[in-house]
Homo-oligomer: A and B are copies of this chain.
């Protein structure tokens, strides 16, 4: 996409007051019968198209998680590409973040960069911090893309490594400092902090200033949305990409799945908007 820039797309959505990101965690087994087509690939794409059509005017981003597509082999991988292509065609103002949680050594990351930004045409990606910024260089040097570094993840057990004390602060804060102070030389970094940990979210916001924070864990994972907004907003009352997946896309198991997804997305959008003016 010549001229397409993740941060610019995102800022426009924030200017429109949109902070909800719908996670396209398209688990084939949960797709309603009414969306079934004659191949795995066609079914996954048809479901995603319906979700995108129903929500594109109220979201700031889409976030497919690669695992649900890879689980279906080459057909799933092709479905992921077709999904991005559909969003580029039908909702070109909405950026797409691939939740891939990648990170290899530098020369190998070039393969992931080719896969994610060229083949799959994503605008942004999530990455693991463990190998350090030198390894992540092929990602970090893409000024037009968004690179979200895992900081404080939403899962139970996240604290096993992330709360280890190092230089007087837990590791997740150290990662936030590193991203802000060293890794963000191209202004394209963000961090991932789960909504399930609002206090940690507040601490990270202090560290990263107005950098984008991707906040998963709302909905099925049980994060408190209002608390997350209070803790996660930046000095401008923006800066957040609040992701909900299963609770939106699988809001109904019936033929009304797309309408139900829109209803739940609208509800979440409303809660976020109210929390922001409090």
Contact = CB atoms under 8 A, between A and B. Distances in A.
Contacts of A178: 160-161
Contact of A119 (B73, B112, B155): B73
Interface in A214-238: none
A78 interface: yes
B104 A132 contact: no
A139 to B, nearest CB: 12
Contact of A70 (B111, B160, B162): B111
A27 to B, nearest CB: 8
A101 interface: yes
A123 interface: no
A67 B115 contact: yes
A159 to B, nearest CB: 7
A16 interface: no
A44 to B, nearest CB: 12
Interface of A: 25, 27, 65, 67-78, 81, 99, 101-106, 108-112, 114-115, 119-120, 128-135, 150, 153-162, 164-167, 171, 174-175, 178
Given A131-B157, A135-B155, A171-B171, A65 B104 contact: yes
A106 B155 contact: yes
Contacts of A120: 73
Given A132-B155, A135-B153, A161-B174, 13 more contacts: A67-B102, A67-B110, A70-B77, A70-B111, A70-B112, A73-B120, A101-B103, A105-B154, A130-B161, A132-B162, A160-B178, A161-B175, A171-B171
A65 B102 CA distance: 12
Contacts of A153: 105, 130-131, 135
A25 B73 contact: no
Given A157-B135, A160-B134, A162-B130, A81 B70 contact: no
Contact of A128 (B103, B164, B175): B103
A164 B155 contact: no
Contacts of A104: 65, 67, 99, 101
A133 B161 CA distance: 9
Nearest to A157: B134
B132 A158 contact: yes
A159 B68 CA distance: 32
Contact of A73 (B77, B131, B171): B77
B134 A155 contact: yes
A109 B130 CA distance: 18
A130 B130 contact: yes
Contacts of A65: 104, 108, 111
A164 B155 CA distance: 23
